[in-house]
Structure 1
């Protein structure tokens, strides 16, 4: 039933101006302004609604992630735009902050200004 419907992703933020800088300028997404409710991006055919919420409740797991063909290049590009990648105690990560999963996929995590956990993944089938 829903397998033919277009997927829409949501991420809650407390400040749309701050989110516009982060998601638009730092991550490089083209945003449509639907204030006072949201900013909207089309990302590879999927709509992402960056939605204003009164109380953001960050969680310890990834809420939004991107599949990238070259993780090192993607990390370097975002670091150049001011994004800081997260390091986790007890997790073996390389100099860029990337972790290699047992199956060979490589993942790196970073937070948006509200503490939403975001990720980049280079899947093993593309390495």
Structure 2
């Protein structure tokens, strides 16, 4: 039943105005719709991101959302020019080189938004 349904990400923001500015200034995303409770973005095809304000923002230590990209280096370079900082990891099971980890799924990198949400880019193999 759900295999044919579109999904979307719901991300918390402790300061919705700050988050909206960050998504605009760093990721070049403009709101598709603003509601009383949050901001909805479209990100290609039927993909959506919904940012909503809550005091719980930034408490999750896991990847909250990932974009599939065709050229991870070019995408990272563009985002770095806009002020996005990518994480480096070196522990069992995850080691990055120049911010990129490689595994059987492809190459991935991680960064945090203004609210502490962990986001990633993946170039699938």
Same-fold call, TM cutoff 0.5: yes
Check if 1:84 corresponds to 2:119.
no
CA RMSD of aligned residues (A): 1.7
Gaps of 5+ in 2: none
Count of residue pairs the alignment pairs up = 122
The aligned residue for residue 42 of structure 2 is 42
How far has the Cα of 1:33 moved from its partner? 4.9
Gaps of 5+ in 1: none
For normalisation by structure 2, the TM-score amounts to: 0.87
How far has the Cα of 1:26 moved from its partner? 0.5
How far has the Cα of 1:35 moved from its partner? 4.8
Decide whether the 8 Å contact of 1:58 with 1:114 is kept in 2.
no
For normalisation by structure 1, the TM-score amounts to: 0.86
> Structure 2 CA distance, aligned partners of 1:104 and 1:37?
35
The aligned residue for residue 65 of structure 2 is 64
> Structure 1 CA distance, aligned partners of 2:28 and 2:100?
21
Q: Indicate which of 96, 100, 120 corresponds to 1:93.
A: 96
SS in 1 for 2:90: coil
